[in-house]
Amino acid sequence: MSGPEPPSETSGPDAPTWPTQPTYSNLGEVRAQLLPSKACHPRTSGRPPTDSEPMPPPLPKKTLARTQSLPTHRARGSSPAPAGQPRRPFLGSHSVDESQAGNDRPWASHPPVEPHFHLLNSPLGLAWHDLHFPEARHTMLEARQLEGLHTVHARLQARLLGGHPGPCQPGHGFRLLDSSPCVESGDALYYRLVRVGGETWHMLAAKVPKPGAEEPHPWGLELQASLAPHFNLQGLCGLVPEGTLPNVTWRGPVVLVAEVPERTVTQWLSEVGRRPRPAEFPWVVALLLLQLSSALEHLEAQGAALVELRPENLLLAAPRGCAATGPPRLLLADFGRVHPRPLGPPGAHAQQLSRLLRVLLGPAAPSATPLAAGLETLAAQLARSRPSAAQTRAALQTLLWGPGPELHRQGAPLGPWLRVGRALLVLHLAERAAAGVVPGLEDWLCCEYLAGATEASLGHALALLWD
């Protein structure tokens, strides 16, 4: 196997951290274009060369090769990490080859998309005489802003979800990185290992059932194996055959999962409880619950339901290519407790989400911050109204990024707010891109919200929260 030598260990933070203050629209990504250089020609004086003036030697030919792989942590033009902040060379699963080693440029999972920007002398979808009419100008600008948000969201999604390791194949080799588990969940132990095939390798995790753990429901495990990759659902990559890894503490084949977890939600809460909770704590709670609602929404769409939501089986991992100080990625891994969803109205997970939200918020006063107060209101509404996971996710998006309850109480139209919000987000994208800031998970989630929201969806979310 000629692939690069994988690391023997990876350092991680001892406790979760948060940004100095929450932001909602730092979605900048530099989309620089590399223009082809003009061919060089030797200058002549207008007369043909003679024997005494030999022609200069021809320029050497250079072949450019494009490599596609996973993104790194740094974007073009980004500043180095602050002094004293540890770097994480490997976040989740990775695939590299020799041509990618030591390359710090941002990699894309597909060829770069040309920016959707046109000058006034190019087609704008707007005739010249229409430029004199404000309504026509506003319609064109709103359409272009929405198109830009969709483009940025798609590019961020390709970075965060790209590079799935795929299933195991004959000839793959395996190497255990640690003799002790990196995470212990409620019913499984997770061990870091490397899968090598040809010139590529992936860091994965072996999911070993704990002795005495409850027998998993086979229907849920079959569903997990059949699902396409989802950002908040644990993905499978196959099995490690028995006898492949020497000197291991388990027997029989074990499941390989695509993302290496760092801790469980229960462990995270324990770490946070050892010190005063920062002001941003409700913000992180809302982002975690937003991701969990997305996972449960996907299960509900498959006709499935999680019969018991256990924080010790909710995993946290670092998103690919994001700063270590950003919010973590939440993974629902407890498919052994996933059953077919019973017939009836939606809201199979509402009661469980309400209880989990109260556990995450803890005994803090509900009026500590407006967001904390909104989350307390949502917990009560979940227990009373029992909305679906999709409705819960929409309510959390509204609490995180607006609009607030004032617009709902005043009965103000929501269309202008949505259009202004999109315009402000586009401005923030440009400011962040100019500063070389690498966009993160929160940016992607905010862009997903504003790009997909409608006046009707905003109205339903506000009614769930404040009616």
Instruction: Work out the number of other CB atoms within 10 angstroms of the CB of residue 42.
Output: 9
Which pLDDT score, from 0 to 100, does residue 3 have? Answer: 46
CA dihedral 279, 281, 284, 286 (to 10 degrees): -100
Whether the bond between 165 and the residue before it is cis, its omega within 30 degrees of 0, is: no
CATH 1.10.510.10 fits 263-466, yes or no: yes
Q: Enumerate the domain spans of the chain.
A: 263-466
pLDDT of the residue at 276? 81
Q: What confidence score (pLDDT) does residue 320 get?
A: 86
Distance in angstroms between the alpha carbons of the first and the last residue of the chain: 62
d(CA 330, CA 291): 6
Which distant-in-sequence residues (6+ apart) come within 8 Å of 296 by Cβ? 306, 332, 349, 353, 389, 392
321: left (phi over 0), alpha (psi -120 to 50) or beta: left
**Average pLDDT across the chain, whole number:** 78
Three-state SS for the chain is CCCCCCCCCCCCCCCCCCCCCCCCCCCCCCCCCCCCCCCCCCCCCCCCCCCCCCCCCCCCCCCCCCCCCCCCCCCCCCCCCCCCCCCCCCCCCCCCCHHHCCCCCCCCCCCCCCCCCCCCCCCCCCCHHHHHCHHHHHHHHHHHHHHHHHHHHHHHHHHHHCCCCCCCCCCCEEEECCCCCCEECCCEEEEEEEEEECCEEEEEEEEEECCCCCCCCHHHHHHHHHCCCECCECCEEEEECCCCCCCCCCCCCEEEECCCCCEEHHHHHHHHCCCCCCCCHHHHHHHHHHHHHHHHHHHHHCCEEECCCCHHHEEEECCCCCCCCCCCEEEECCHHHEEECCCCCCCCCHHHHHHHHHHHHCCCCCCCCHHHHHHHHHHHHHHHHCCCHHHHHHHHHHHHHCCCHHHHHHCCCCHHHHHHHHHHHHHHHHHHHHHCCCCCHHHHHHHHHHHHCCHHHHHHHHHHHHC
Q: Residue type for 258, please?
A: A
Residue 12: its pLDDT value, please? Answer: 45
Task: Write out residues in the chain with pLDDT < 50, as ranges.
Answer: 1-4, 8-53, 61-122
Q: Are 258 and 163 in contact (CB under 8 A)?
A: no
Tokens of 26: 């730092």
Angstrom distance (rounded) from CA 75 to CA 439? 9
The whole model's pTM is what?
0.74
| The predicted structure's pLDDT at residue 17 | 43
How far is it, in rounded angstroms, from Cα 60 to Cα 148? 41
Can you give the pLDDT at residue 366? 52
Residues 6+ apart with CB under 8 A from 15: 271, 272, 274, 275
